[in-house]
Chains A and B, each alone.
Chain A
Amino acid sequence: MTTKLMGTGVQRVEDQRFLRGLGRYADDVAVDASTLHCAVLRSPHAHARIVDIDVADVLDVDGVHAVWTYDDLTGPMADPLPLLIPHPALTHGRTQYALAKDEVNYMGEAIAFVVADDRYVAEDAVGRIKVTYDVLPPVVGIAAARAADRLVHDDVPGNVGARMEQNTGDVEAALAAAPHRLTLDLDVERSACMPLEGRGTVARWDPDIDRLQVWTSTQTSTGVRAVVAVKLGLDLRQVDVITPDVGGGFGVKINHPWPEELLVPLAARTLGRTVKFTEDRREHFISSAHERGQVQHIEVGFDDDGRLLALDVMFWHDHGAYTPYGLIVPIITSTQLLGPYKPDVYRVVFESLYTNTVMVTPYRGAGRPQGCYAMERTMDAIAAELGKDRTEVRATNFIQPDEFPFEQGLVFQDGRELTYDSGDYPASLEKIKALIGWDDFPAYRAEMAAQGRRVGIGLACYVEGTGVGPYEGAHVHVETSGKVKVATGLTTQGQGHATVFAQLVADELGCRFEDVEVVTGDTRRMPYAVGTFASRAAVMSGSAIHLAARKAKQKALTIAAEALEASPDDLQIVDGVVSVKGSPGSAIDLGTVAVLSNPLRYAFDEASKAATQFTVGDASKPPVAEDEEPGLEGTDFYSPERSTFASGMHAVIVETDPLTAEITVLKYAVVHDCGKLINPTIVEGQIHGGVAQGVGGALYERMVYDESGQLLNASFMDFLMPYVTEVPDGIDIDHLETPSPLNPLGIKGAGEAGVIPSAAVFASAIEDAEGLPITAMPISPSDLFHLRLAHAEETS
């Protein structure tokens, strides 16, 4: 057999075009002088009523083709944007309009849409629109939302969009009975995905075929397609959505439709021209989504060993001005908070709150980093209270390897029971301790202290539900050239799908890796799909592709068996050639099998003559057998009953400068278990990127809103995304491979893992270095400096 590619670090096939500058991102589509460009007038106020919009001066600008405000929208376009994921607890869900109607609720909300010859002219025109506002006092921050002295939406009392509770028993009784109790109050601030490519959409209406083509930088092409059709009053079959290369997503591009994803197609259809919108960086800050902001209150009861007897969590989640993505982020926080542990009783209550700020939708980790932070801060507090090693308290609470499948007794984000499928947390702990040098650290700390240097060590553990449903599908087609064309509907933002999926197809079908071409996120090729989020692509599409390749293989074997006059059981497919095992002379290549799979009347080349009616087939039977279809293809879908749970542990050693409070990473270690690895190089790349984003979120990045709701740091000058100088110089990674029993490949998701424990692990290490409690993240040198002053004052 050919060497299996599963598990090998195959070089990426997509790199060739990216490295040559031949990628095609949304703004690279339809580069043509005839393409029209858009600019959006966005609210300068966080909260205001719109009294009047005067666009009279706009159409006088040379090169302007059209301007839309809310009053120009009709039919479904004039309705609010969809609430994508309704939930019974979301009693007061609100979404914005494609263009603001009467009121704006965050600085950056779209008010008017201008289409012009180029972006420069469109921006000139936007500057000539006169809007009269009646400015209202805004609600900024969780404290103001809870106080509810002012309301974001008049009809949402207390600014509470949702209140949700889950519990596994009587937590109050369990707390009362516990020998030890602690209370923690924690904060996490906002950050954002910040892909290097912002949002972008291009649309072209083709009157000759009565059809709309949309290219959009999205994480769900089928989602965008469905809503564009509904909003524009088109049949689904009239709309194609093509996901071009996407310059990073990290969650923000799963939300849809963005106003421009509807307005651009509307403009293209109305004007009969190709229309393009490319978001600029400032727009991305003020009109695309943020995440992470939460305030948490934890009460925990435990025994002398640190075993969790009762865990009672209340948190307040800032969801911004609107709730298009429902309650997914706080539900994930509330369920994934438990990590690898099994408290006797758990209760969690959250309120999801409106503020006059940019809306909150999932950012890589999607609520897990906050949950991990709450749980791991609690573990550290228990260890400190009992004077125990932090790893010991964690080990005491681990779900053991023989306890899987383990039911947490909660309902997860997919509406299914929170049931962990597999894992080995004690083994991970041993690996992370070895990797970071946990047991040697006291000696190292003493050695550093002797040099006047202050260091600390921290660790954090997480469990990540990955590969959520409902399904993905795949189509595998062997062409008569022997080339294998594969399509799956979810999209790609840098994960290397074209490579890893080709590995799976080559392995299962037996073709050459080089002959496989994978297309993702193109509704023309696979109209049934969900999207790329929740670390689900490898699990969902990977499994579907594996199954589809198997179908194509079975068909190839059946056809080849007839041609070679052998039993299918005696055949093998290696490097794209079907042969009889043990007699290599008796062989037929997959391309020829593809020819034979499609009975022809008309030959189109030499090879295809072999499939014409006087050449092939049993004249006594139908050319295409009953229950068969022409073509060497396989289509299949994968729909698991529930999510699969990856896990991991991070540890870090930091140094804090005694004078400046600068925080330096000395060593960063990751133990990661995403089940079977398809491509370890790509998995490690995902971890590297996650860790860097985690460092940003823990030490540098925050959205700075002032009291009037102005985002003060809406640029890369002021929002401190890590450069190479801020990330660890080397990340030590070790893998554990606990296969998932839920899918044929035994894989679990890997995309978000790197970022989940960051706030927790840095808080743990900084607390260890400083000997003062860290309860708010991110933490800057200035924050730490002031904490020291406050702590000195308290303890003096």
Chain B
Amino acid sequence: MSEALLDVRLSVNGVVHDLRLPARRLLSDALRHDLGLTGTHVGCEHGVCGACTVLADGRAVRACLMFAVSAVGLELTTVEGLADGDGTLSNVQQAFVECHGLQCGFCTPGFLTTITAGLRENPHPTHEEARDMIAGNLCRCTGYQNIVKAVERAAELGSHERAEGS
């Protein structure tokens, strides 16, 4: 390819990856296609649906609105990095299981990362705050009813991000 390639060092889920990428490579594509972390999904490519949300230094960001080169120096967490090393689900993930918070699962990674960041900031959300926490993500399957319940259940499971027993 004639495109100029740049050295890009990405730190994802605690692992450092050295890549050679064109400047225009989106972070979402780099995660999915170059690193094989396909849990981050792309639903609209213009930052509206939130399916591609990942955590960058703990903050929820949309990987489709960011170039991979812009992520250099950030500690990235994707959905693959939410569960404990031994496979125990995080409280947010566990709450989704208990509350039937997902159907097709496509938007789910973006909700999980968004809520993970949201509960770090506000571990005890009111019902209104729980709804507000997910108000920037689209889901076409669940009507959001059980996702709101999952936010509240995750808060109930405790401020520790890992589910009990971990």
- A717 to B102, Cβ gap below 8 A? no
Instruction: Tell me if B122 is interfacial: C-beta within 8 Å of chain A.
Output: no
Instruction: Tell me if A296 is interfacial: C-beta within 8 Å of chain B.
Output: no
Instruction: Tell me if A128 is interfacial: C-beta within 8 Å of chain B.
Output: no
Per-residue interface assignment for chain A, residues 14 to 58, with 1 indicating a CB less than 8 Å from any chain B CB and 0 otherwise: 111011111111011001000000000000000000000000000
How many residues of B are counted as interface, with CB atoms below 8 angstroms from the partner's CB atoms?
60
Q: In whole Å, how far is B161's beta carbon from the nearest beta carbon of chain A?
A: 14
Q: In whole Å, how far is A78's beta carbon from the nearest beta carbon of chain B?
A: 33
Minimum CB distance partner of A691 in chain B: B143
- A196 to B96, Cβ gap below 8 A? no
- A19 to B96, Cβ gap below 8 A? yes
Rounded to whole angstroms, the CA-CA distance of A691 and B78 in the bound complex is 31
Rounded to whole angstroms, the CA-CA distance of A768 and B137 in the bound complex is 33
| A18-B105, A19-B112 given; A685·B44 CB < 8 A | no
- B41 to A724, Cβ gap below 8 A? no
- B104 to A195, Cβ gap below 8 A? yes
Within 8 A of B (CB), among A259-304: 280-281
| A246-B104, A724-B148, A731-B143 given; A19·B1 CB < 8 A | no
| A31-B38, A688-B146, A730-B145 given; A716·B104 CB < 8 A | no
Instruction: Tell me if B68 is interfacial: C-beta within 8 Å of chain A.
Output: no
Instruction: Tell me if B120 is interfacial: C-beta within 8 Å of chain A.
Output: no
Instruction: Tell me if B51 is interfacial: C-beta within 8 Å of chain A.
Output: yes
- B51 to A196, Cβ gap below 8 A? yes
Chain B at the A interface: mostly helix, strand, loop or mixed?
loop
Which residues of the other chain, B, contact A724 by a CB distance below 8 angstroms?
131, 134-135, 144, 147-148
| A281-B45, A688-B142 given; A20·B106 CB < 8 A | no
Q: In whole Å, how far is A731's beta carbon from the nearest beta carbon of chain B?
A: 6
Which residues of the other chain, A, contact B42 by a CB distance below 8 angstroms?
27
Rounded to whole angstroms, the CA-CA distance of A25 and B41 in the bound complex is 9
Which residues of the other chain, A, contact B134 by a CB distance below 8 angstroms?
724
Rounded to whole angstroms, the CA-CA distance of A723 and B83 in the bound complex is 27
- A197 touches which of B82, B104, B145 (Cβ 8 Å): B104
Instruction: Tell me if B53 is interfacial: C-beta within 8 Å of chain A.
Output: no
| A281-B45, A692-B144 given; A23·B39 CB < 8 A | yes
Rounded to whole angstroms, the CA-CA distance of A729 and B126 in the bound complex is 13
- A717 to B46, Cβ gap below 8 A? yes
Per-residue interface assignment for chain A, residues 222 to 251, with 1 indicating a CB less than 8 Å from any chain B CB and 0 otherwise: 000000000000000000000001111010
Instruction: Tell me if A254 is interfacial: C-beta within 8 Å of chain B.
Output: no
Which residues of the other chain, A, contact B109 by a CB distance below 8 angstroms?
21
Q: In whole Å, how far is A752's beta carbon from the nearest beta carbon of chain B?
A: 13
| A247-B104, A494-B105 given; A688·B138 CB < 8 A | no
Identify the interface centre among A247, A690, A693, A721: most chain B CB within 10 Å of its CB.
A247
- A685 to B104, Cβ gap below 8 A? no
Rounded to whole angstroms, the CA-CA distance of A20 and B2 in the bound complex is 37
- B97 to A12, Cβ gap below 8 A? yes
Instruction: Tell me if A727 is interfacial: C-beta within 8 Å of chain B.
Output: yes
Which residues of the other chain, A, contact B45 by a CB distance below 8 angstroms?
280-281
How many residues of A are counted as interface, with CB atoms below 8 angstroms from the partner's CB atoms?
62
Instruction: Tell me if B24 is interfacial: C-beta within 8 Å of chain A.
Output: yes
- B96 to A15, Cβ gap below 8 A? yes
Minimum CB distance partner of B81 in chain A: A21
Rounded to whole angstroms, the CA-CA distance of A385 and B39 in the bound complex is 56
- B97 touches which of A15, A62, A495 (Cβ 8 Å): A15
Rounded to whole angstroms, the CA-CA distance of A685 and B100 in the bound complex is 7
- B93 touches which of A19, A684, A691 (Cβ 8 Å): A19
Within 8 A of A (CB), among B28-42: 29, 32-33, 36-42
Rounded to whole angstroms, the CA-CA distance of A195 and B147 in the bound complex is 17
Within 8 A of B (CB), among A642-658: none
Rounded to whole angstroms, the CA-CA distance of A23 and B39 in the bound complex is 7
Per-residue interface assignment for chain A, residues 338 to 366, with 1 indicating a CB less than 8 Å from any chain B CB and 0 otherwise: 00000000000000000000000000000
Per-residue interface assignment for chain B, residues 90 to 110, with 1 indicating a CB less than 8 Å from any chain A CB and 0 otherwise: 000100111010111111110
Per-residue interface assignment for chain A, residues 711 to 749, with 1 indicating a CB less than 8 Å from any chain B CB and 0 otherwise: 000011100010111010111000000000000000000
- B24 to A120, Cβ gap below 8 A? yes
Minimum CB distance partner of A61 in chain B: B2
Rounded to whole angstroms, the CA-CA distance of A754 and B37 in the bound complex is 34
- B105 to A14, Cβ gap below 8 A? yes
Q: In whole Å, how far is A59's beta carbon from the nearest beta carbon of chain B?
A: 14
Rounded to whole angstroms, the CA-CA distance of A16 and B97 in the bound complex is 8
Rounded to whole angstroms, the CA-CA distance of A756 and B82 in the bound complex is 38
- B43 to A197, Cβ gap below 8 A? yes
- B143 to A727, Cβ gap below 8 A? yes
- B102 to A196, Cβ gap below 8 A? no
Per-residue interface assignment for chain A, residues 514 to 529, with 1 indicating a CB less than 8 Å from any chain B CB and 0 otherwise: 0000000000000000
Q: In whole Å, how far is B50's beta carbon from the nearest beta carbon of chain A?
A: 9
Rounded to whole angstroms, the CA-CA distance of A24 and B39 in the bound complex is 8
Within 8 A of B (CB), among A358-411: none
Q: In whole Å, how far is A494's beta carbon from the nearest beta carbon of chain B?
A: 3
Q: In whole Å, how far is B108's beta carbon from the nearest beta carbon of chain A?
A: 6
| A31-B36, A281-B46 given; A63·B41 CB < 8 A | no
- CB pairs A–B below 8 angstroms (17 shown): A15-B96, A19-B96, A25-B41, A193-B140, A245-B105, A247-B43, A280-B45, A494-B102, A494-B103, A496-B103, A685-B103, A685-B141, A688-B146, A689-B143, A693-B140, A717-B46, A723-B144
Residues of chain B whose beta carbon lies under 8 Å from any beta carbon of chain A: 1-3, 22, 24-25, 29, 32-33, 36-46, 48-49, 51, 78-80, 82-83, 89, 93, 96-98, 100, 102-109, 112, 127, 131, 134-148
New A-B contacts (9) at CB < 8 Å, excluding given A18-B105, A721-B138: A25-B41, A62-B2, A120-B24, A197-B106, A248-B106, A494-B103, A688-B145, A715-B44, A725-B131
Residues of chain A whose beta carbon lies under 8 Å from any beta carbon of chain B: 9, 11-12, 14-16, 18-25, 27-28, 31, 62-63, 117-121, 193-197, 245-248, 250, 280-281, 493-496, 681-682, 684-685, 688-693, 715-717, 721, 723-725, 727, 729-731, 754
